[in-house]
Amino acid sequence: MGGSQEKDEPCSCSEAREHLERFLDHECDGDMTARLAGHVASCEHCSRIADAETHLREILRSRCAEQAPPELRARVLGRLAVMRSTTSAASVTSVTSMTSVTTADGTTTVRSQTQTIRYRLG
């Protein structure tokens, strides 16, 4: 019955770090969730890590919720329409991702990356 003892054993810091993302995404089973929640509640170090990860996720979620201004949206859609009408043999797609990180001292860093993807149609 070693399996039931493992369920009742406290979670280690390394195990908490290993499963932290799944825990915060509510993807762990009930036993693992209880063990991780207990550990994070009692371990100051892991609690700070979980709080920082939660804060980062909230920042990213709020930044991803922002929508492009209507003028930019219209300009991009217009260019896509031109590209679609003039490109018969190939298609080009540009994807831009932006990441914003605010540190504890209030400094915000924004990184953007554009990737161009080309592929043949038909």
User: So where are the chain's domains?
Assistant: 2-64, 70-120
Q: What is the pLDDT of residue 94?
A: 63
**pTM of the full predicted structure?**
0.47
Type and span of the H or E element at 115: strand 108-120
Task: Give the burial class of 39: count Cβ atoms within 10 A of its Cβ; 0-12 exposed, 13-18 middle, 19 or more buried.
Answer: buried
Rounded to an integer, what distance in angstroms lies between the CA atom of residue 8 and that of residue 50?
A: 22
Q: What is the pLDDT of residue 40?
A: 93
Task: Give the burial class of 46: count Cβ atoms within 10 A of its Cβ; 0-12 exposed, 13-18 middle, 19 or more buried.
Answer: buried
Residues of the chain under the 70 pLDDT cut: 1-8, 86-99, 112, 114-122
Q: What is the pLDDT of residue 103?
A: 75
Q: What is the pLDDT of residue 1?
A: 36
Q: What is the pLDDT of residue 83?
A: 74
